[in-house]
Every structure is written in C-alpha cells, then in structure tokens.
A and B are shown apart, each in its own frame.
Chain A
Amino acid sequence: MKSYIHYILFCGLFSLIISSCQNEKFFELQRPPEFPWKSVSDFEMAPPQAYNAAFYGLGGWGGCYGEDLTLDYILSDVGGFIKGTSEGLNADQLNLRNFTNPPDNSTFESNYTGINSINAALDWFYETSNGDPFPTASEFNKEKNIKRIVGELHFMRAYFYFSLVRHNHPAYQPGQVNDFKALPYIIHVPKSQSEILSPKFGTTQEFYDLIEADLQKAVEMLPQKFETGMHPSYQYGRANKFAAEALLARVYMLMGKHSGAGKNNALAQLDDIIQNGQYELEKNPIDNFTKDKDSYTNESKENIWYAFYADAANMANGFSDLKKSYYTRCFPWNDGGGGKGVHFNYCGWHQYFLSEYMCKRIGWWDADSTLTISAKRDKRFEQTYYFFLGRNKYKGEGVPPDSIYDPHPKVNYNTLYVDKYFREKNTPSANMPVIRYAEILLNRTILRFRAGDKQGAADDLNQIRKRAWDDKVAGMDYESSTEFLTGSNITEEIIHTERIKELSGEVEWIPYLQSLQLPITLGDRKETEVVPGMGVVNPPYKGWYWPISPQELQFYLSK
C-alpha cells in the first residue's frame, strides 16, 4: 500500500512540475523593448522627430522643407540655370522640367518616416488611451501640454502630406473630381508586412480632406503662443495655432477656398492671424534672418514658425538648409561662411540664380541686365539678394567698386542670387523662417484683390512695400512716391512681383500660381529646352508631378 502511495505521490509531483511550467511568465523579458511614453515628459518626445524629419531629413539631405523650396525655385520661372554645371542635383533633368524620375527619394522616405511615428503616437493617444493617456496628470498639464502635443502631431502630419501630395499628385482642381491615386494613404501604424505592402492609396481629394481635418484639429488644440508651464522646449521652432492657420490658408488657397462665409477658407484664417496674432513686420527685411544669432529663438516679430538650427549640438543635423545653397552660392556651414561681404564663401556646387526673366519682370534689371533704380532703392535687393558681375566685365569700366565678380569660370554674365539665409558668420546655426507675417499679408493681398477688395489689398501690400522702401536712395518717403498703392492703381501683376521680391527662395511660388490658376511660365528657358508640354504650363498643370519611384512602386505591384 505504501508503495502505491509513493507511486501516486511521485506521479503527482512530477506531473505538477511539468504542467506548471506552461506559463508565459517564464518568457517575460526583464528588458523588453521599452514603450517610449510613460509620462507627459516622455510624450513630449513624440513631436520633435517630425520636425527633425521635415527640417533635417534622414541623414541631412532629404527634409521636405529644403527639398520643396529648392525644387520649386528651380522648376519654376524664378530660377535661372548655369549651364554646364551638374553638381549635387540632377540639374539637367530639372532644367528640362523632366518629371520622369523623382529627383530625391530620400524626401519621400523622410516624410513617411515622420508620418509613421506620428501615426504611432496618435494611435496610442486616440485608440489605446482613448484620448486620456495620463489620467492622473493635472488639468493644466492635459490642456497645455498633452493637448498641445497632439495638436502638433496633427499639424506635422498635415505638413508632410501637404508636401507629398503636391509632389506626387497633380494639382488640386477646385470644383473638379480629384480622384488621382498614387500615394499610400497611411494614417495608422501598419501591424503586419502585408498591410505595408497593400496600403490604401488615397485620392487627391482624400489627402486634402485629411490635411484640412488635421490642420483644423491643430488650430483647435494648439496654443497661440508659449506659456509658462508648457514644456520649455516648445518655445523654440514649434508650431502654434497661427502656424496651423497659416498652413491651412495655404491649403485652402490651393483648394480654391479663398474667401467666403465661415472659417473654412483661406481669408478667414489669414484674418485671424493678422487680427489676433500680434505679429508685425520687422524694420528691415534681413532682420528675419539674422536676429537669432546666438539665441535659440528667432526674435523676429514677423516669424510665425521657424526651423530651428541654433543649437550647436544640432549642427550635424542642420544640413537641410544646404539645399538652399543651390540658389545662394554660399557654402554655409564653414565657420567662415556667410552671405554677401566679408563672410562670403564661394561654393562651386551652386548653380541657380534668379532668372533673368524674373529680374526683368520685377523691374530690377533693364534690358541689358544692369540694375534699375527700382532695385537700388529696394532694401530687399541690398539685404536679401546678391548681385554678381559676369567675369567678362572684370576689367571693364564703370564697375561699382563694391561689386563682386562671379568666380564661377562659366559665368560671364550678371547674376542675382537669393542671399537671405547665410548672412551671419555662423550661418549653419541660423534659424530659418518657415512662415512669416509678410507671407500672410501677401496672401491676404491677393485674396482681397481677387475678392474685389482692392483697397484692402493695397493697404496690406503697402506695408510690405513701405518696409522695403529706402528713403535715402529714393530721395523721398514711400507714401509720397508714385509707388504708393491705392485701390485704383494696384494690379495683380504688382502683387505677384512684390511677392517674388519678398519671398523668392523662401515660400514656394508654384503653389501660389496654382492657387490662382495662373500659368507657370518658362522663365529663362526656351520652349525647345524643356520636355514637350512643359513649356508654359497652364491649369490644370497636366503632368506637373513626379511619379512614385519605380523601386517603391515595385513593392506594391509585386503584391
């Protein structure tokens, strides 16, 4: 009997030990992959990656901020091209307006990298946490930080998709069916390989709807400005409510929602910024680009949103603005770098100046490329542009003593470069305006003009023109001059050219034309020098977008 007891005892214990081992706790890692946001402070790290992707890109070249501006400058009628140079960008292809292959896939990748991690944070906020990820957080924290962070995430997702849809889809056509599909429409983190390989592809309309919705949420959730109690990092280079309204205004302009009743139009957004934003124009145009100096914040009263490059620790990431050097001819990140004057540091990579066509259109050059009084009395010419004399005039007579000759061996003609970014000695750490008050005024000018409010348009534009007016050169003040605008002498061409003088190389020109359904002209190109159909491109701007790269497309096709 005793033996049977032993036997039962043994079998029982043995079975128990064996069966007890079937629990998953055994496999629990002491150091599993960490969830990144366990506190409000942690959650603060969610938005920066998006700004990083937009302004620094992956590895420094692919940020959409620099990419969009550069391509816009080159492809439009604004940029002029030094033939025979081909450093860095595929200049020939761009000059031909050849949209066969994307010039830089890394921007596409950096945009989706930013989007995917934003989606992760939003999924967690809305779905996992049901909109209240930190229930024990103070109400102040929830309002000033958590809500603001989510607002930033919406804002940046809109920023990325706005860049992508303009890059890879045809221009939005107001009142038309915008059903073109090319881009993956990803608003949640994919959970599997098959989900990545078979994404939903969004129509142009869907993307614009998403961007509008994201920006509307951003306007609702973002504060007007930094306040004590918010995370201190929010002070520098981050989006606020007015940045969201400004971006939304750009979107509405492209969607043809220029003005009207209610808030869902561009003019309403701009009005709010002007009335409530407490922004104003700086005294000098260059002040927007030099006030940051050694400070983290851009102290310009005009800046609504700026790209942060000021921290020396971020220097390695600060190369996105390198692309701008294509139309500035400066090598900005050397200690000795800088724009016009003693800090000028020539770089042979740079190959785009302001087109001769545009120089003449804005009235700064006369027929033989010499400067007009209009240029000389404009502070912007002196402060934000750089005029080079062609090398063949090196020994000529009548050359101004402070003129600089273009050192490029191929350039034997006068050129004018955008030179607003690198005027400071320590230019790599200069913060860059992304949205500033001048653009708001210029946008409202054209919208007011188109809406029939010509006096209102003149009033807005006069602020810009007056700031640029050099009394000493002109010999009179702006209001006394014939240049002063009223509802009766303002024209649309004046508004356009003023925009070029103020914002070239800074805010994209082509979306402006598309918003107004204006043709994209050739600039310095001849009809025979571009891909057929890409001469003067009229609405609906057929073919004016890049296809998804073949490498990217192959994934979807193979699936």
Chain B
Amino acid sequence: MKLNRNSLSFFKDGQLKKYYLIMRLTWLLILILTLPISASVWSQTMSVKLKNSTLQELFVQIEKSSNYRFFYNNDDVDVNQRISVDIEEKTIGTILNSALEGLPYSFKELESNLILIERKGDKPISNGTIIQKQNPISGKVTDSSGSALPGVSIVIKGTTTGTITDVNGNYFISIVPDNSILLFSFMGMKTQEITIAGKSTINVTLAEESFGIEEVVAIGYGTKKKIDVLGSVASVSSEDLVKTSSSSVLNALQGRASGIQISQQSGMAGSDYTVKIRGIHSINSGNDPLWIIDGMPGSANDLNPSDIQSVDVLKDASATAIYGSRGSNGVIIITTKMGKSDKGEISFNYKSGVSNVMKTPSDYGYANTTQWFSVIDEARKNSGINTPWEPMDILNINPDIVKPLSRQEAMNTNNNWFDQFTRQGTFQDMNLSSSRGTDKGSVFFSVNYYNQKSVIRHDDQRKISGRINADFKPVKILNLGARVNIINTTGNSGSYTKMYPWRPIYDANDLEGTGYWNVHSNQVAQIDSKYNLNSNETLRGIGGLYAELSIPFIQGLSLRTEGSFDYSIRNTSNWQSAKIRSLQSPNDGSAAGEGSKTYKSENYNLYSKYNRTFGNHDISATIGTESTRSNIYNRSMSAKYLLGSYQELGHDPGFLGSMEGRQIYEDYLRSYFGRADYKFKEKYLLGISIRRDGSSRFSPASRWGNFTAYSAGWIISEESFLKKIESIDLIKLRGSFGQTGNNQVAFNRSFSYYVNSFDYSYGSKTLLSAGTRLSVLGNPELTWETTTSYDLGIDYGLFKNRISGSVAWYLQDVNGLVLAQPLPQSAGLAGGNEIWANVGRIINKGFEFSVSSINFNNKNFKWTTDFNITTNGNKVKNLTNDLDSYHKGIWMNKWYTRTGGPVRAYALAEYAGVDPEKGVDLIWEIDKPLFDATGEIKRTGRKIPGTDDNVSNTFSDTKKTPIPTYFGGLNNTFTYKGFDLSIMLTYSGGNYIYDSEKQGISRAGYGEWPAINAEMVAESWKKPGDNAKYAQLRWQDNYEWGWDTNAPNLNSPTKIGDWTFTPGGGASYKSNQHSRYLYKGDYVRVKYIEFGYNLSQNLCKKISIKDLRIYVSGQNLFTFTKYPGWDPELGDSNWGNVGGEGYASGDYTMSRTFNLGASLKF
C-alpha cells in the first residue's frame, strides 16, 4: 500500500471530517500493527544467526525483536557463555531450546512477557558455596481493602530474579535462597521488604502510598514517579476530594495544595470559582489554569468528586511547557478512577445536610426601622430641615408605587426582609459506584445524584451524572479504553436584594390579589416563583477513547492515541408574569426569554512514549501531536404579550423581542510536543520539554510559537554521604527554567474587520438598514503572552517519610502582555481607536512550602498533619509607551495598574478620620502638580475635607491590592481505632477588599439607600470636640464646610486651597469612596471538620459487607477575620471588568453546612 499526502483527501475538505479520518487512520495503524502479534514464545517467530556469540547477545536480539524481557540471576547464569545459533523463522521457544542445549540452564515463560533463565539443579552462589534449592515461595498480594493486586513486582533483593502477581494477586517463585529478602512493589503503593526466613507462603498487604517517594503523578501525556519529577507538581488524592459537602471538585481542592488558590464567587448553588495558580499572570487576558480531564481539555465544574482518582497541579514551566501556549497559568490534570479489583467492588455513599447563612443583616450592621428613622431625622435636623421625612419622598421616585405609605405606617413596620430572601438550605448527595478489574481489563461505573437547595430562596440545583470508565486488553501489547461521563444539571437561579426595613412586604388587602404590597416594585414578589422564573438546564457529555500499543520490536516504546470530546447544551429560560412587571411598560403582558448555548470541543492526541533503562541510565521520552477544535453556537429569543399561562415563551407570542442564532466562538489549536528525561544512577536527573503550538486566534504570521523548558535534579539523599543518615529518606534538589504561553487572549484582535450596523446607516431603514465601517484594525503580529519561569525547589522525606514535603521558589517573567495601545483619532476606527499588541511586562514571584507529617502513629492512634503555604507578589515592569510616558497607567474605577507597582492597586483617596471641630470626613491631600508632572503620588501632609471634588482628585499610593500575598491550608487527621477526625483550615491574606456596601450605607443621603449603617446612630459626630467614628449626619450629604481648591493659603504646604463655610450647606460629600472602606482581607476559615467511624472488619464480615463508615461533618464552621464585610472569600472575580475581584458589593455570604453521611462497600 502506498500512501502519500495526496491520498489523504481529508486534509482538503471539511475540518471535522478530516479530524475523524485522522483518528480512523490511527486506529487502522494500530490494528495493522496489532494483527501479527502472537501471545507466546511458542507462537511468536523470528530468525537468529549468531556465531560464537554470548548468551547475552542472544537475549538482546530477542528483546529487540519481541516484547520479551529476560530475567536471571547473575550469580546463577553466566551470560558470557559462548553459543552459536542459526535458525530461520522459528518460535522463540525453539530458539532458546536450541541455544541452551548443552548448557546448565533452562527457561520459563512468566506473565508480562518475562522469560526467566534459571540454572538446572543446585547452583553456585558468588562465594562458590552450594546452597540447597528451596521450596517454591508463593502467596497473594492484596491492597488495604483486601482486593487482589495483579501485576505486583516481586524481586529477590539484590537480584533481577523475580515475578509478578497474576490476575488474582497470586505469585509463585521457584527458587529463592533461604536468607534472601523479597521486594514487593507496585505503582502507587508503598514498597515492602519481607525476609523469607524459611517460609514457603508469604501473603502481603500493600499500603497505598499517600505522600511517599513512590507516588505516581500525572504529568502531561503520561505519568511519572514523583521522585523523578523535576517540576513543581502538587497532588491531591481522591479521599480528600470527597470530604466536603460541595458537589464541586474546586471546592474540594481549596487549601489542599500549595500554589493553587481557589475562591468561590458567591454563595449560590453551583456558583463559579476563581482558580489561580501562583498568582496572576496577565492584566487583560485570562488567568485561568488549563484543566485536563483524562487527556481532554475542559472545565471541571460539573465533575463528580467521587469519580476522581487524583488531581495533579502542574505549576512551573518544566511541568507545563509541554502544554505550550496554554501553560502559563498552570495546568490541573484530573484522572478519573478505573477498576482495579479482581473481585469487584460496589460502593455506595450517601450524605445529606443542612446549611444556613453565616451572617445576618444585624451581624453586618444594617439599621432596623427605628435606627433608620433616627439617622434620617437627625440628618434633616442637622441640615436645618424641620419637616418630618415622609417615605413617599423616596417611594414616589419609583413609578410602580401605586399604594401610598405614611410615615407612621412606615415607622410601625420593621420587616425581616432578609428572611424573605433566604432560608435553611438542604442538600442530598448519593453516589453509587462499582468496579472490577481483570488481567484483560477493568471497568469503573458510577452514578451520582446531587440535589441542593441553597440558602437563597428559589436557588436550587439538581445534578445527575453517570460515568463508565472501561479499559480492555485484547492482546498483550494493546490497551484500549473508553471514558464516558454524562451530566445533567438543572436548576433555578434565585436572587437577593435589600429592602427598606420600613417598607411593607405583604398586603392582605391587595386589590390585585397577589397578597403583596405594591407588587410591581416589591422585591420579594419579584423573586416569587409564581411570578418569576429563572431556570437552566445543562446536558454535558465528556468522554473519549484511547488505544495504547506497546511496539513489539522496540522495547520500551509505545504509541498512544486519544480522541476525546466535551459537548454541552445549556438552556436557560426566564419568565416574568405581567402581575409583577413594571408599570413603566403597561399592558404588554407577561414576558419571557429563552437561550440555548451549544458548546462542542474535540481533542485528538497521538503520541509515543519510550521508557528504557540501560544499566545506570534511565531514559524516558514522549513525542506527539495534539489537535483541539471547539466552538459555541448561541440561540436566544425573547418576547412579550405571551399567550397561555405556562411559565415559558410559548407559541406565537404577541410581540417578538430580540432573536439571535449564530456561532459566537470557535477556536482551533494544533500542537507538536516532545519531552525527554534522563536519569543517571538514580540520582542525577535532566529533562527537556518542547512544544510548538499553532492557534487560530492569531494571524498566520504569528500563529506558531515554540515553548521550551529545561530542568535538572539531584537526589542528594542517594549520595553515599547522606545515605548513612537514616533519618533522611529523600532530599531532592530541583530547578527548572522555561517558557510557556497564555493564549487566553480575546478573539478578533489579530484580524481587521468591518461591521455592518444600523448605527452607521443613513436614510430609510426599510430601504437600507446598515452602513459599513471598518471597526477594528487587527494586529497581525499579535500573539500569546509569554511567561519565562524560574523554579527552584527541594523535595524532602525525613524519618522514614514521617515528615515529607517540598519547598520551592518561583519567578515568572510575563512578557508581551496583550494591552490596548491607544491610537490617534485619525485612525478612525468605529470599534474604538486602539490596537492590541504584546507590549507589557509583569514579574510574578513567591515561595511555596508544604509539609506532611505523621505526628503520632501506633496500633490504635494516628495523627497526621498536612500544611501548605504560598506567598505571591507581582510588579509591573512596563505597560504601553503611552501609559508609561504619561504616568497614566491603567485606571479602572478604584484601581490603577502602573509601571513600578503591583497589578490593580487601589487608588482611593486616603481617609484621615473625622474632623473633631467641623464634623466632616477628612482625607490626606496629595501633591497634585507633582502627580500631574511625574505620576508620583505623595502626601502634602495636610488633611482636607472629603468633598466629592477632593475625593475624585485625590489618590493613594499604598500599593494595596485585592490579590492575596499568602494563602494555604492546614489539615489535621486523627484516627483512633475505628474513629477518625479531620479538621481542615484554609487561609488567605495580604489582600485588601473594598467594601462598597459598607461605603454605601454609611451616609444618610436623602434616604435613598435601602440599608443604613446602624453604627451611625450612636457614633456620628454630634458637636465640636467629638472624636467620632462617623461624620455628622447631614441631609443629602451636604455640609457647611467645604473646600476651595484655588483659594490662596500661605499657611498651607501648597500655598493654595482652603476651607470654605457656607451657612446651611454647600459642599457635597456624597462620593465617600475613600480608603475608609478598604479593609484587610486576611482570614482563617475552618473549612470543614469531619468525624467518622469505621465499622470493625469483624462486624463487617458478619453482615457481609466489606466496609462501612458513617460520619458527620461541618463546612465553613468558623471564620477568623477582621474584615467587617459579608465574607472575605467572596468576590466577583470577573477580572477584566470594573467591579471585579476585591470589590464587595453586598453579595450574600457563603453558607455554613452540616452533613451526615455513610459510606458502604461490598
């Protein structure tokens, strides 16, 4: 068969077709290569022609031509024995029989393509003495749960003689010297050494390796023993992931690994999380890490934590460079479970719980009705207004108020509005899984049901998911497998707002029959599911197939192909009854909108792996290609004048609103990658990885980029001078240097494009609806942001690994930040006069430390501790010429990002207390001319009033940012007999949070703010001389004392600017957005406490189960913080937008949860 490029017609036509054809060709390749492979030395043939050669040369030739490897004891077998063989196309068995003829050796075929060469009869040992041949040693190897472990390596220590366990975990070794030691080893398990001591049967239970050096971690496109890993990789095991009540993997990961910071964005069901690995790496582009789920890039949001075997967090360039342009923000690899037990296992987990809000309005400091009126009345009185405040002064602003409210009625009302928006939340989580493994394959199956009603009323989420992971070994050299995960999520989105405490909620005499007072503007009615619905449903399928072929004629070489997909359809629906709709749009009936978003992502990997040991030299290499295609198609429509009473858009609505149906996103990535690692004498390590990425986000000229990383390691503990120290098990020094990219650059910035829009039209719309303008001038040179990373670390294990962990220092130099370069107006671009280019640079650096210790361990009691901490900081090295030359920086509302400072520092006017004599807020004046000339922000030393003008023209340069400078977790686990207790703490700090809510309620205004700070009743300024916490209460924030910026003032440092006094009021202090409301965001949270009991094995046997565990746990139990806002963890992390992270806008707190659960295994 002759193949050439032209014959591959799929490269010319549709991309999707091509994609599948590539996969099919790969499968064909595997099939072709697989067919000729036989399964025995008596069926596989080859030719050998050796003359006066050694036995060893024969073995090497057979190993090269087949998948067999030879085992023998150097003391027993003289491989330098001369032989001659000349055989054409005979079985390997025949060849060996011929070669060994006349020699004192025989051969035996073992599992896993091993051929054991052994001496016939008694054999000499190295000192020339003769030992008596032993009876064969046999036994069974199981894991801690009693399940058989197939494939466990058993080697006589000091030799290469050994075998592996069969499918039932059984093993048999025919010759074992009496005084020898057997080594039992298995990936992911602790190696055990057992002395024979005359025994003929040895059964072994291997313990799983939790943090030892034998631990295997997932790296890109493969796995590696942790001791051999040169990059910064943190791993989290499956046990830790299922301990929280959340259905989210991200929640479960919080605080578990150094370098990774996870925070929830709200307390609502299914809310998103912000994940950052080693801080931030970009100003405008994404900072999200790359998630790889069983080889497929995608989101981990919907995954069932119980399905996950391990989570590995790749942090430095040597670990992530293999992911090239997607590696800058770190990579998180999720590996799901697979079957492993020959007997099979069924697990059933159930947990249920309740949750409550962690803070109430009174905790936060909202005023009740009495306090509310007290503040308002005092403000009016202080402003010389003697008429009593009437609630209709405010309510009348809203045209939807149709029923009036008198002052007395309002004062008699003190509603508990918070209870109307919140409730006691509940959840149920059921998980059923089953697995079984044989030497021919394994299956893991799970079903999960999760139902949550959050603490926000009407905010529900229900998730049903199912997974099948199947692995199959049709012949010895081929592994096939499939991963399929179907997830269905349905829910309603609740909402939350604040209300005047004096505003009635219900009205039994409501003429419209809803039972609500002023239903059209009633916030409680607005969330009533009878009148308002916000539902969503997502159907997601993730899965893929893989095939891994061990190349039979090159020992250690395998070829793996993976085809994966991630499809989801998310439907959203909102509906609003005419009964609650605003009277602003009268008589247009009920309204609804529906949306549907289809996301499709397909990924294809093809790579080969090579692992081989040559004496003291260990070599491993990977080379391959990856292709990813994804797109989103969006449909939406809305209408009014709905017909019918169902809560849906319905058929043929009276007035069609918006309608859209289009592909809104597409992204293609093709890559070629390679990695090579070398280890010498088990202690010197070198590594290199390289990736070449091409992306559709960029123009052909800038499409391709190369990313390379180098790493080196030295396992010092393997040196003789440290080997003598028994307390040291591992000390590994490692370092890496390399480049990765960040391709999370907004689309359509490389290409110029036009927009046909009605906004540019002229003339009659019915005749010509649009005009054409050049909207964006693309930058063909735009490419990904590039991160050059430096990483130094030490991994350690001490006192027989009772203390282990790692320390690392990292520095990330992010270059080519994608920033908007302003263009002159003459550019004439309709989409804005700017062009995006790779211009900025930031440095991001910090330390990581993690330690795991077994503090106490005896027969009945064990205490372990896991602790990690990460520090992080960044500095802007440069932005655009324009931004730097003017000292402008990027100003966004309350933040600025300027060269020399950190990313997004708060730029608020600096609060200086309340003037004791004048009763107004003060701020520190800055030298404005100096700022205008040089950009330097420097205090003049004078306090000036916090008037609107002064606040808007005054900045601080405290370099305080919303980005934590340290974070981590602490977990302690205690076990006593069948009982266990885990206490997990997470913490974060060094950041600042601007509490916009506190700022908004800390003024009287004209009574427009629904909530008012209760503290102001007693702690506002009353008279000259008061050292008050709050300024005098003034109506409409209008004060008599103001400021004239231009007034001459020889006594002042600047000789200009002085107080003004306007009787009755003349200065506005409405914009009180200064640093007073900027608080430290430090906190320590008791993330969860879990107390469990494991039924004894005897009892379990009696009731015919394998294991039973019951437990109670609590989540978010306590938070230690000085932050006075709702929750220091919460933050809208929409990083690119104003109102982003570190800006608390009165969001609801997260909930405190209590769970009861049971775990049962059969």
Which residues of A are at the interface with B, using a C-beta cutoff of 8 A? 1-3, 6-7, 9-10, 12-14, 16-18, 20-21, 23-37, 42, 44-53, 55-56, 105, 108-109, 112-117, 120-121, 183-184, 186, 189-190, 192-193, 196-197, 199, 231-233, 236-238, 296, 308, 310-311, 313-314, 317, 549, 552, 554-556, 558
Contact = CB atoms under 8 A, between A and B. Distances in A.
B65 interface: yes
B762 A26 contact: no
Contacts of B551: 10
B800 to A, nearest CB: 45
B1130 to A, nearest CB: 37
Interface in B732-755: 748, 751-755
A44 B768 CA distance: 8
Given A36-B755, A555-B822, A556-B824, 7 more contacts: A16-B3, A21-B627, A34-B753, A52-B771, A117-B774, A196-B824, A196-B827
A21 B625 contact: yes
Interface string B548-563: 0001111000010000
A37 B765 contact: no
Which among B666, B758, B826 has the greatest number of chain A C-beta atoms within 10 A?
A: B826
Nearest to B836: A193
Chain B, interface SS category: mixed
Given A17-B25, A109-B825, A196-B827, A27 B3 contact: no
B825 A108 contact: yes
17 contacts: A1-B47, A3-B552, A6-B553, A17-B606, A33-B751, A36-B756, A49-B760, A55-B762, A116-B828, A116-B829, A192-B779, A193-B777, A196-B826, A308-B764, A554-B882, A555-B823, A555-B882
A193 B821 contact: yes
B670 interface: yes
Chain A, interface SS category: helix
Nearest to B561: A17
A45 B768 contact: yes
Contacts of A196: 777, 823-824, 826-827, 835
Contacts of B670: 21, 26-27
A314 B46 contact: no
B5 interface: yes
B1137 interface: no
Given A6-B36, A231-B768, A23 B11 contact: yes
A15 B773 CA distance: 47
A52 B762 contact: yes
A109 B631 CA distance: 36
B696 interface: yes
B98 interface: no
Contacts of B751: 32-33
Given A116-B828, A193-B823, A20 B777 contact: no
Contacts of B559: 10, 14
A98 B685 CA distance: 75
B1056 interface: no
Contact of B824 (A6, A9, A197): A197
A27 B11 CA distance: 12
Contacts of B827: 112, 116, 190, 196
Contacts of B758: 313
A117 B828 contact: yes
Nearest to A19: B5
Interface of B: 3-5, 8, 11-12, 15, 18, 22, 25-26, 29, 32-33, 36, 46-47, 65, 551-554, 559, 606, 608, 625, 627, 631, 662-663, 666, 668, 670, 672, 694-696, 700, 703, 748, 751-756, 758-768, 770-774, 777, 779-780, 821-830, 833, 835, 837, 881-882, 885
B758 to A, nearest CB: 8
A17 B22 contact: yes
B763 A49 contact: no
Contacts of B756: 36, 45
Which among A28, A44, A114, A190 has the greatest number of chain B C-beta atoms within 10 A?
A: A190
Nearest to A2: B36
Contacts of A23: 11
A52 B761 CA distance: 6
A42 to B, nearest CB: 8
B15 A25 contact: yes
B278 to A, nearest CB: 30
A87 B1118 CA distance: 57
Contact of A25 (B11, B703, B759, B829): B11
B825 A308 contact: no
A311 B15 contact: no
Q: In the A-B complex, list the 7 residue pairs whose CB atoms are closest, starting with the nearest.
A: A33-B753, A116-B828, A49-B771, A112-B828, A48-B771, A233-B768, A48-B762
Contacts of A190: 777, 827
Contacts of A17: 22, 25-26, 29, 606, 625
A24 B773 CA distance: 29
Given A16-B3, A109-B828, A296 B553 contact: no
Contacts of A21: 22, 625, 627, 670, 672
Contact of B772 (A27, A37, A311): A37
B34 to A, nearest CB: 10
Contacts of A48: 760-763, 768, 770-772
Contacts of A47: 762, 771
A105 B833 CA distance: 13
Contact of A29 (B26, B552, B696): B696
Contact of A49 (B696, B752, B773, B821): B773
Which among A49, A51, A117, A238 has the greatest number of chain B C-beta atoms within 10 A?
A: A49
A45 B753 contact: no
A419 B87 CA distance: 114
Contacts of A558: 881-882, 885
B779 to A, nearest CB: 7
A36 B12 contact: no
Contacts of B823: 193, 196-197, 555
B607 to A, nearest CB: 10
B125 to A, nearest CB: 38
A28 B33 CA distance: 33
B1136 to A, nearest CB: 22
Which among B18, B703, B748, B768 has the greatest number of chain A C-beta atoms within 10 A?
A: B768
B773 A117 contact: yes
Nearest to A106: B825
A323 B830 CA distance: 23
Nearest to B748: A33
A37 to B, nearest CB: 7
A334 B18 CA distance: 61
Contacts of A232: 767
Contacts of A108: 825-826
Nearest to B28: A13
Contacts of B835: 193, 196
A478 B631 CA distance: 76
Nearest to B696: A27
Nearest to A112: B828
A117 B3 contact: no
A186 B826 contact: yes
Contacts of B608: 14
Contacts of A231: 767-768
B627 A26 contact: yes
Contacts of A317: 759
Nearest to A237: B763
Contacts of A49: 760-762, 771-773, 830
Given A20-B11, A21-B670, A48-B771, A237 B762 contact: yes
Contacts of B770: 45, 48
A300 B594 CA distance: 49
Which among B65, B662, B758, B763 has the greatest number of chain A C-beta atoms within 10 A?
A: B763
B773 A30 contact: no
B668 A27 contact: yes
B754 A233 contact: no
A189 B774 contact: yes
A541 to B, nearest CB: 24
Contact of A30 (B666, B748, B822): B666
